[in-house]
Amino acid sequence: MENINSPLSRRKALKFATVTSATILSSSLLGRVSAAEHILPTELRGRVNHSACRWCYDSIPFEDLCIAAKKIGLKSIELVDPEGWPILKKHGLTCALPQGAGLGIERGFNNPTLHDELIESYETIIPQVATAGYNQIICFSGNRNGLDDDQGLENCALGLKRLMPTAEKYGVTMVMELLNSKVNHPDYQCDHTAWGAALCEKVGSERFKLLYDIYHMQIMEGDVIATIKKYHPYISHYHTGGVPGRNEIDETQELYYPAIIKAILDTGFKGFVAQEFVPSRPDKLASLRQGVGICDV
């Protein structure tokens, strides 16, 4: 066995480490370039405003994702905090649904003890959203924590009504997400479209709408197309996701997205449809391109 403490062996080890480090660095840089540059420009029909949720691609550097998104044909990357907005602008992208306010999914407007804190948070961010040229911000009902749906509805409306003058002044719509409480978000209150629509009626402002997450609502209530047709006046944003598993929206799952997107467009919808599936394949950007293509009806 070679003596690894000899000067020769140490020099060999150092040389090996240097070459290996350089190779890893080169591969890393190549990976960063290829993450964006292997995507060729895509020609889309132009009937759908395409977006994607940042968190689904958080392993990809943000600038790389922006470059690839433009080539795929996206107009937006969303669920981005204010720190990321200048990068979006640099690459000619918008943020169809920003974040940056609130107390998280579980602590929302159904809890009156949180109203003052929530209102302060949103009153800070709403002017920033408007200044950046965006017109929506995400919000949440919060978990039930033993609260019945009627009281949760009243509590949410009470808090949201306090924010509507600010939202209306700046032209920013607060969009509450419909989430499933069966698989991903146990105890979440805004888990049925009818409940969300009833909340819209109680708030009574065009600056409060719903985010209809197709993945979540398929799990909770199904009947997606009929529900969209019935409740579309209350919906200002859509998210995708494969059921079951929240992965790619192709033939590996149970929903037929071309028909769903066509139904959305048939309601006269002019907003954004955002991909929010979690890619299960190594080439995440190829999955994103595929999802956009499926929805580009």
- On whether the CB atoms of residues 67 and 285 are closer than 8 A, the answer is no
Output the pLDDT for position 30.
Answer: 36
The Cα 151–Cα 195 span in angstroms is 12
Output the pLDDT for position 293.
Answer: 97
Output the pLDDT for position 82.
Answer: 98
The Cα 137–Cα 135 span in angstroms is 7
The Cα 97–Cα 177 span in angstroms is 11
Q: What is the pLDDT of residues 243-265, one digit of tens each?
A: 999 999 999 999 999 999 999 99
Output the pLDDT for position 36.
Answer: 53
Q: Read off the pTM.
A: 0.87
Amino acid letter, residue 212: Y
The stretches in the chain having pLDDT less than 70 are 1-42
Transcribe 219-255 into DSSP letters: HHT--HHHHHHHHGGGEEEEE---TTTS--SSTTSS-
The Cα 284–Cα 12 span in angstroms is 39
The Cα 31–Cα 57 span in angstroms is 14
Output the pLDDT for position 229.
Answer: 98
* 104: CB partners within 8 A, 6+ apart: 140
